[in-house]
Amino acid sequence: MEYVLILSVTFVAFALNILNRYKISKFLKIIDYPDKKRKIHKSPIPLNGALWFPIYLILILIYFFLYENEFESIIFYISIISLTLFLVGMLDDSISLNPNYRLLIFFLIFVLFFETNNEFRIKEIYFESLDFNISLNIFSSVFTAFCLTAFINSINLVDGINALANAIILIILSTLYLNFEINNFFILIIIIYLIINNYFIYKNYYFLGDAGSLGLSTFVGLYVIYIYNVNFDSNLNLLKSEDIFILMSFPGLDMLRVFISRILRKKSPFIGEKNHLHHFLIKKYSLKITLTLYLSFMLIPIILNFFVNIYASYNLLLCFILYQILLKISVHKTRII
């Protein structure tokens, strides 16, 4: 009964947000106006594409206080920190925070969280392909905070075209759900709403916004860390370091390439430019083809790794190769499609 109520309330919030998206976004002052430079959409677009998510998180928190058990307590902590990042992202959508200060805020929030929540702290990194283990010891909180900050920033950076960030989050979370037999209602509901939400973002009803990309990616990032730690502490090694790299490879590789490129050109790595992989693709192809190419190339090593069980090191190498191939396709002068 409680699950039905949570599902129903979230659905009502989701529907009302779609129907009243312009009124809500004007009230919250989270509208993305075109500037004919980086923002090339033709009309103002609401940035409340994930407003259902904090409402859902609040429902989870209420549920926790009423019906506590061990697994839901983990979801409770993930929900608290994800809600915090969502609110910071909403503030950024409204007043445009300095990117350097914003990343510092994220990092400090995460360090504080990991210092007080041992279950989410990465204490050791094990590379199965090399049979090599790194113990982080006193650096575990800082390292985990750095990794999570890098991940949410990479997702935020791919949120430059409709539905891409939402789809990547959906792929990562669905892979975990299907591969690790996570029989949990709360995760399944997020997956369902991400699927529905992708359609409305794709159709330009609204954008995910910094609030959506940061809140959702924080939830997924913390969930990945939790599953990794549970498997590592139980000596199961079902989710290995290589697996995490494969899941997050495309946005991660693109962020790394862009940052290095900007540093070599003596520019700040945090300035806004249209030199990401998805920017190159959208200049040559339609949105539909861009999303198909990006997500298909990203999915190939994920499917081979998690569902065909081909050796992880080969799939890790395949990620680099496929990323380079897609990058070459995107910047090639001749229009292929």
Sorting pLDDT into bands at 50, 70 and 90, what band is 69?
low
Q: Using CA atoms, how far apart are residues 237 and 253, in angstroms rounded to an integer?
A: 24
Whole-number pLDDT of residue 182: 61
- 71-85, 155-169, 236-250: which has the highest mean pLDDT? 155-169
Binned at pLDDT 50, 70 and 90, residue 156 comes out as very high
Cβ proximity of 160 and 278 under 8 Å: yes
- The pLDDT value given to residue 331: 84
Mean pLDDT confidence for 145-161? 95
Spell out the long-range contacts of 197-204 with Cβ–Cβ below 8 A and sequence spacing 24 or more.
Answer: 197/14, 197/49, 197/50, 197/52, 197/166, 198/163, 198/166, 198/167, 198/170, 200/18, 200/49, 201/49, 201/162, 201/163, 201/166, 202/162, 202/163, 202/287, 202/291, 204/41, 204/45, 204/162
pLDDT at 78 over 50: yes
Mean pLDDT of the chain: 90
280: pLDDT strictly greater than 80: yes
Residue pointed to by tokens 């999303």: 291
User: What pLDDT sits at residue 236?
Assistant: 65
Tell me: pLDDT of 232 over 70.
yes
Non-local CB neighbours of 329 within 8 Å, separated by 6+ positions: 293, 336
DSSP helix/strand/coil, 336:
coil
pLDDT at 327 over 60: yes
pTM > 0.85: yes or no? yes
For residue 137, the model assigns a pLDDT of: 87
The arithmetic mean of pLDDT across residues 54-61, rounded, is 92
Confidence (pLDDT) at 186 = 86
User: What is the token pair recorded at 162?
Assistant: 């409709």
Q: What angle do CA 240, 320, 133 make, to 5 degrees?
A: 30
Name the residue type at position 189.
Answer: I
Report d(CA 40, CA 61) in Å as an integer: 38
Write down the pLDDT at residue 334: 41
d(CA 310, CA 281): 29
pLDDT class of 333 with cuts at 50, 70, 90: low
**For residue 119, what pLDDT is reported?**
85
pLDDT band at 337 (very low <50, low <70, confident <90, very high): very low
Give 3's pLDDT tier (boundaries 50, 70, 90).
confident
If you average pLDDT over residues 286-290, what whole number do you get?
96
Inter-residue contact 13 to 55 (CB < 8 Å) = yes
- Rounded Cα distance between 48 and 208, Å, is 6
Q: What are the start-end ranges of the H helices in 139-286? A: 140-158, 164-179, 185-202, 209-233, 241-247, 249-264, 277-284
Cα atoms in the 13 Å half-sphere on the side-chain side of 257:
17
Decide: helix, strand or coil at residue 170.
Answer: helix
